[in-house]
Amino acid sequence: MKNNKGITLIALVVTIIVLLILAGVSIAMLTGQNGILNRASESSVTNAIGEAKDQVALTVSEAVADYYEVKYAKGNEAKYNGLNNVAGDTKTETKALKNYIVAKVNDVKVNGVTITADATKGITITSSENGTYKTTATLGDNGNVGAWQDSWKK
């Protein structure tokens, strides 16, 4: 009987147990709170938020350039809606600039996020995918955007 070659029942059970442990660890790595699928979803949200921040910064820069072109270079005021009264007292000018920026930023569209701008509340970017991600920034009188304040709600 010493020439029998084959697998014993104990070796088979040990192999199955090892495979079950590996499967459990793999499933936990995929689906846990800090799992690969959750982290991939969070990174797609973070990427969309970053793209939205870039678009907002570009739009604000373009709006400020348009504003000063109308004010100083006497560009085509009809081309820039809301900027026909950019000369005069400082409060009116500041209001015209902020309102123009708000109008331009509210027209920005980025997939996966919502962008809203308000002259007094500032700029807000939100995403509701994988919990809620929200970031806000103030809007200065001269068209500068303050630091972004991020928050996750899960």
Q: Which two tokens stand for residue 35?
A: 């799992």
φ, ψ (nearest 5 deg) of residue 150: -95, 150
In this prediction, residue 7 carries a pLDDT of 77
CB 61 within 8 A of CB 68: no
pLDDT at res. 121? 87
Question: What confidence score (pLDDT) does residue 36 get?
Answer: 80
Query: What residues of the chain score a pLDDT lower than 70?
Result: 1-2, 74-94, 128-131, 153-154
pLDDT attached to residue 89 = 44
